[in-house]
Amino acid sequence: MTSDAPSASMVKALLPESEMPTHWYNIQADLPEPMAPHLHPGTKEPLGREDLAPLFPMALIEQEVSQERYVEIPEAVQEIYRLWRPAPLIRARRLEKALGTSARIYYKYEGTSPVGSHKPNTAVAQAYYNASEGITKLTTETGAGQWGASPAFAGQAFGIEVEVWQVKASFESKPYRRMLMETFGASVHPSPSDLTESGRAFLAKDPETPGSLGMAVSEAVEVAAGDPEARYSLGSVLNHVCLHQTVIGEETIKQLAMFGEGAPDYLYGCAGGGSNLAGLAFPFIRENLAGAQTQIMAVEPAACPSLTKGEFRYDHGDVAGLTPLMKMYTLGQDFVPDPIHAGGLRYHGMAPLVSHVKHLGLMDSMSVEQKVAFEAGVEFAKAEGVVPAPESTHGIAGAIGKAREFTGEPGSGPSIVIGLSGHGFLDLPAYESYVHGKLD
Ligand SMILES: *Cc1c(COP(=O)(O)O)cnc(C)c1O
């Protein structure tokens, strides 16, 4: 798609608050083939609403299976979104120049949120629906703390107490996000802890265990399931999480128009559990189903390429096999990826919705090595002045590779949109490793 009149010097598309989306987009309404249902881990029958009721509020359970195309964003959620939304769409003119590309590169920047990533888009919605149903406590797990900080912020906004189990290794080695969670008023426990039965069992087996996300999930779920006023909160993978993230793509469509652009030729985003990519890409897939031709690329780490190298089959979401079976691209519930710095991309599976869309041929995927990702992240930081989250550098690496294929008159090539899911200010030690040549 060539642009006749993108403003010659415009760099930022700042959508007015009044143009913020009022509805989330539910791609389930438009899928050419419906996705496979989640299954009960014991009976292997399709999951009933009552199976999920101890863990999630009914409104979110309904959204998980909803076929409604547009879901209204409650005013109380919009009010909090307006603290940082609409998020900017920025033309990366200096990056284009540094690369010598004729492509027009844009990035949708989610780093302006309270925790510096896209994750509060769903945390705020989840806290709202829990509070509406009288829930007083949310439990969750977190690794480096990117997710935990999001319900920590969102919970207090709706008067909900938030309790986070953080993988012990991260709790001890990466204190800043724990401090952020505590600043927002959450209580944070190293996992495994002696506060739960499962935690005590993990500790009895190995008192020195560094913990894992799988163990932390068990603890958070146990506490939620045992307290009628508590529920559990998940930051990626599930359908309702992908739904909440679609504000990203809906804003981007309007902002591209401000630049005089139609549907982009290429869209790149990183994929761990798949939620930020789903949020950016699903509205563009809607446009593709109506005739647009955006090529959508999920970029994964080479250390954990579930979409690119995994099998499309039913698998558990957790290590212990306690969570529902979901049909998705997976490397297997036992797969333990190398400890790359992009912790948010170290998940063995992929959101069932993203998996389904890839299976239908509506999305492609690729993987990049950690070094290549950081190289791209540093190039981006130098040109644009934004240090990307280690996760986000994967999407940038994919886009830079594509942009380099196009030379010639600046601006005369294709348009490329990058999902910049967050900033990397709390991940600077990872950049230090790269800069000093200590990255594996
Ligand atoms: C958590 C996180 C991710 C990965 O999660 P998705 O569900 O795949 O979006 C990506 N980028 C950032 C900045 C994150 O914090």
- Is the predicted pLDDT of residue 6 greater than 70, yes or no? no
* Residue to probe by mutation, ligand 1, list 275, 277, 363, most atoms within 8 Å of CB: 275
Return d(Cα 85, Cα 79) in angstroms, integer: 10
- Alpha-helix runs per DSSP H in 184-232: 197-205, 213-225
* Residue to probe by mutation, ligand 1, list 115, 118, 365, most atoms within 8 Å of CB: 118
- Is the predicted pLDDT of residue 1 greater than 80, yes or no? no
Return d(Cα 329, Cα 360) in angstroms, integer: 12
Residue closest by Cα to atom 13 of ligand 1:
422
* DSSP labels, 312-331: EEEEESSSSS-SPEEEEEES
Amino acid sitting at position 164: V
Three-class DSSP category at 416? strand
Q: Please, is 287 exposed, middle or buried when counting C-beta atoms within 10 Å of its C-beta (0-12, 13-18, 19+)?
A: middle
Return d(Cα 152, Cα 32) in angstroms, integer: 38
Ligand 1 center from residue 118 Cα (angstroms): 7
Strand pairing category for 137-142 and 161-167 = parallel
Counting from 1 in the atom list of ligand 1, the atom nearest the Cα of 236 is 7
More confident residue, 132 or 214: 132
- Ligand 1 pocket member 270 (CB < 6 A): yes
> 12-23+76-117+240-435: which CATH topology?
Rossmann fold (3.40.50)
397 token code pair: 């690496």
- Ligand 1 pocket member 121 (CB < 6 A): no
CB 214 within 8 A of CB 135: no
Question: How crowded is residue 375: how many other Cβ atoms within 10 Å of its Cβ?
Answer: 18
State what percent of residues in the chain have pLDDT above 90.
Answer: 88
Q: What is the pLDDT of residue 2?
A: 44
Nearest to 155 by CA among 112, 187, 197, 189: 187
Cis omega before residue 86 (within 30°)? yes
Return d(Cα 251, Cα 279) in angstroms, integer: 10
Q: Given this structure, which CATH class describes domain 119-237?
A: alpha beta
Counting from 1 in the atom list of ligand 1, the atom nearest the Cα of 277 is 9
Counting from 1 in the atom list of ligand 1, the atom nearest the Cα of 119 is 15
Q: What is the pLDDT of residues 371-394, one digit of tens each?
A: 999 999 999 999 999 999 999 999
- Ligand 1 pocket member 272 (CB < 6 A): yes
Q: Please, is 6 exposed, middle or buried when counting C-beta atoms within 10 Å of its C-beta (0-12, 13-18, 19+)?
A: middle
Q: What is the pLDDT of residue 344?
A: 77
369 token code pair: 């090595």
- Is the predicted pLDDT of residue 222 greater than 80, yes or no? yes
Report the predicted TM-score, pTM, of the whole model to 2 decimal places. Answer: 0.96
CB 312 within 8 A of CB 211: no
* Residue to probe by mutation, ligand 1, list 109, 119, 167, 329, most atoms within 8 Å of CB: 119
- Ligand 1 pocket member 274 (CB < 6 A): yes
Count CA atoms closer than 13 A to 149's CA, side-chain side. 21
Ligand 1 center from residue 327 Cα (angstroms): 20
Ligand 1 center from residue 117 Cα (angstroms): 8
Q: Is the dihedral of CA 187, 192, 194, 197 positive or negative?
A: positive
Mean pLDDT of 73-93: 98
State what percent of residues in the chain have pLDDT above 70.
Answer: 98
- Ligand 1 pocket member 306 (CB < 6 A): no
Strand pairing category for 230-232 and 311-316 = unpaired
- Ligand 1 pocket member 130 (CB < 6 A): no
Return d(Cα 71, Cα 56) in angstroms, integer: 18
Three-class DSSP category at 380? helix
Residue closest by Cα to atom 9 of ligand 1:
276
Mean pLDDT of the chain: 94
Least confident of 95-104, 147-156, 329-338, 396-405: 329-338
Q: Token match 């600043």: residue?
A: 183
CB 399 within 8 A of CB 95: no
- Ligand 1 pocket member 140 (CB < 6 A): no
Cis omega before residue 283 (within 30°)? no
Mean pLDDT of 127-132: 98
Ligand 1 center from residue 43 Cα (angstroms): 32
Residue closest by Cα to atom 10 of ligand 1:
391
- Ligand 1 pocket member 391 (CB < 6 A): yes
Return d(Cα 402, Cα 63) in angstroms, integer: 36
Q: What is the pLDDT of residue 402?
A: 98
* Segments of 48-103 assigned E as strands: 70-72, 89-91
* Opening angle at CA 338, ends 237 and 432, nearest 5: 100
Return d(Cα 95, Cα 403) in angstroms, integer: 10
CB 422 within 8 A of CB 118: yes
Which residue ranges make up each domain of the chain?
Answer: 12-23+76-117+240-435, 119-237
Q: What are phi and psi of 56, to 5 degrees?
A: -130, 150
Counting from 1 in the atom list of ligand 1, the atom nearest the Cα of 278 is 9
Rg for the chain, CA atoms, rounded: 21
- Ligand 1 pocket member 422 (CB < 6 A): yes
Q: What is the pLDDT of residue 301?
A: 94
Nearest to 372 by CA among 352, 408, 343, 401: 401
3-state helix, strand, coil in the chain (%, to 5): 40, 20, 40
Length of the chain: 440
Type and span of the H or E element at 121: helix 120-132
Type and span of the H or E element at 25: strand 23-25
